[in-house]
């Protein structure tokens, strides 16, 4: 798999699961076969799940984790009050803490489309950058969501290769769970249609023919719903357009005639629309910059030329008037020195008596 395809996987995963509702549905789905996640759900209130803003990685930018969330513990305010009360009784004083505060837990969702031996170090980095520094050092659960061709279970990776077994039990400062999205047992007929479509699309990348029926079923269910998922459907189509081999793209396009009947676009059209929008935005930006630059240059040149001519004319005119006035004053001054009466100097020079007397 190329780096570009890996980025496409990650970008698509973030697009779908940045929505807390979709992440909540994913965890609920996996909890049916994972007792640890089932216990987690019994402790947290998924309705309070929200993304930690500014913490997720984006293409071309450094950041922490594919997706990071915080969620409230069930009845946490009540538990916190009880703990504060016990602490106060032991110390013989009442706690001054804000009893209305909720206890929070962090969730790190890290998507992988290939086996990665460095996953442990990545999760440590994400935990300290987000949960420890940005979220107030709250306890966290990291969930590795895997969608790849090869079998992989990162939970079985020994954390310290080459070290005796004694040191392998040195744990992480957070819980780690694993969801194998490509092999998870999924009842697509009862699953949330958007989540079903997203999972089916991600499975199709590695098993197009095996996942096609699930994709078509999920697609029809989604299109029958009353909600408008147009942008998400187009996102899924563009994702498949970039990941599937040519012969499998044709297979998918042939199976999506229902989309056009519902006013949605085909894979090719979605790809075209995405490219057109990006090209339009880039073209507008480039055109505006070049137009602005050319307009400024032309305006400056023309303004400079016009200003020069106006200035030259104005300067010449003002200079000419000043030169004539100076000459008259010099003449009037010489006439005064010769003792010529002011009345005659006024007539000859054209200057006023007030000006002549100041010379």
- Whether residue 321 has pLDDT greater than 90: no
pLDDT, tens digit, 9 for 90 and up, residues 264-287: 445 555 554 555 455 555 555 565
Phi-psi sector, 16: left (phi>0), alpha (psi -120 to 50), beta: alpha
The kind and range of the H/E element at 59 are none
Here the tokens at position 350 are 């054209």
CA dihedral 333, 336, 338, 339 (to 10 degrees): 180
Q: Between residues 104 and 309, which one has the greater pLDDT?
A: 104
pLDDT, tens digit, 9 for 90 and up, residues 331-346: 778 778 877 888 878 8
Q: Which of 75-79, 85-89, 254-258 has the highest mean pLDDT?
A: 75-79
Stated pTM of the model: 0.66
Are the C-beta atoms of residues 235 and 217 closer than 8 Å to each other? no
pLDDT, tens digit, 9 for 90 and up, residues 15-73: 899 999 999 999 999 999 999 999 999 999 999 999 987 665 544 444 445 899 999 99
- Whether residue 255 has pLDDT greater than 70: no
Distance CA 36, CA 43 (A): 11
- Whether residue 155 has pLDDT greater than 50: yes
Q: Nearest 5°: phi and psi at 152?
A: -160, 140
Domains of the chain, by residue range, sit at 3-279
Are the C-beta atoms of residues 128 and 64 closer than 8 Å to each other? no
Q: Provide, rounded to the nearest whole percent, the portion of the chain with pLDDT above 90.
A: 26
pLDDT (average), residues 246-275: 54
pLDDT, tens digit, 9 for 90 and up, residues 85-129: 555 554 444 433 343 478 999 999 999 989 998 898 899 999 998
Q: Which residues contact 289 (CB under 8 A, 6 or more apart)?
A: none
Describe the strand order of the beta sheet including 44-51 as a list of residue ranges. Answer: 44-51, 67-73, 104-112, 140-146, 175-180
Q: Provide, rounded to the nearest whole percent, the portion of the chain with pLDDT above 70.
A: 65
The whole-chain average pLDDT of the chain stands at 76
Distance CA 224, CA 173 (A): 45
- Whether residue 317 has pLDDT greater than 60: no
pLDDT (average), residues 196-200: 91
Query: Could you tell me where the DSSP H helices lie in the chain?
Result: 3-17, 20-31, 35-43, 76-91, 119-126, 165-168, 193-204, 208-224, 230-243, 246-254, 257-261, 267-337, 342-349, 353-358
Q: Between residues 297 and 63, which one has the greater pLDDT?
A: 297
Distance CA 7, CA 328 (A): 85
- For residue 74, the model assigns a pLDDT of 93
- Whether residue 78 has pLDDT greater than 70: no
- Whether residue 169 has pLDDT greater than 70: yes
The count of other CB atoms within 10 Å of the CB of residue 20 is 18
- For residue 350, the model assigns a pLDDT of 81
The count of other CB atoms within 10 Å of the CB of residue 33 is 13
Distance CA 105, CA 119 (A): 21
- For residue 33, the model assigns a pLDDT of 92
Q: Is residue 144 helix, strand or coil?
A: strand
pLDDT (average), residues 133-137: 85
């Amino acid at each position: 798999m190329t780096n570009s395809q890996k980025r496409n996987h990650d970008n698509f995963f973030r697009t779908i699961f940045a929505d807390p509702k979709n992440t909540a549905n994913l965890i609920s789905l996996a909890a049916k076969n994972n007792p640890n996640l089932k216990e987690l759900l019994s402790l947290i209130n998924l309705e309070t799940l929200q993304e930690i803003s500014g913490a997720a990685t984006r293409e071309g930018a450094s950041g922490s984790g594919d997706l990071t969330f915080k969620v409230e513990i069930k009845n946490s305010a009540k538990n916190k009050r009880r703990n504060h009360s016990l602490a106060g009784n032991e110390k013989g004083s009442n706690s001054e803490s804000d009893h209305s505060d909720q206890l929070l837990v962090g969730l790190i969702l890290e998507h992988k489309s290939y086996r990665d031996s460095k996953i442990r170090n990545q999760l440590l980095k994400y935990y300290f950058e987000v949960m420890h520094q940005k979220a107030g050092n709250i306890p966290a659960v990291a969930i590795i969501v895997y969608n790849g061709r090869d079998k992989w279970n990162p939970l079985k990776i020994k954390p310290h290769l080459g070290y005796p077994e004694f040191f392998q039990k040195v744990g992480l400062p957070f819980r780690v769970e694993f969801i194998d999205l490509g092999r998870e047992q999924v009842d697509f007929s009862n699953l949330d249609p958007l989540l079903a479509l997203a999972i089916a699309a991600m499975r199709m990348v590695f098993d197009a023919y095996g996942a096609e029926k699930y994709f078509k079923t999920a697609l029809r269910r989604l299109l029958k719903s009353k909600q408008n998922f147009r942008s998400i459907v187009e996102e899924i189509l563009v994702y498949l357009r970039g990941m599937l081999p040519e012969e499998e793209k044709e297979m998918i396009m042939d199976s999506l005639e229902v989309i056009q009947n519902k006013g949605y676009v085909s894979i090719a059209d979605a790809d075209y629309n995405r490219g057109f929008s990006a090209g339009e935005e880039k073209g507008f930006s480039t055109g505006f910059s070049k137009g602005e630059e050319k307009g400024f240059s032309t305006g400056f040149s023309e303004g400079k030329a016009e200003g020069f001519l106006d200035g030259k004319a104005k300067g010449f005119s003002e200079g000419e008037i000043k030169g004539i006035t100076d000459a008259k004053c010099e003449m009037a001054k010489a006439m005064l020195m010769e003792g010529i009466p002011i009345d005659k100097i006024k007539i000859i020079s054209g200057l006023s008596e007030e000006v002549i007397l100041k010379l």
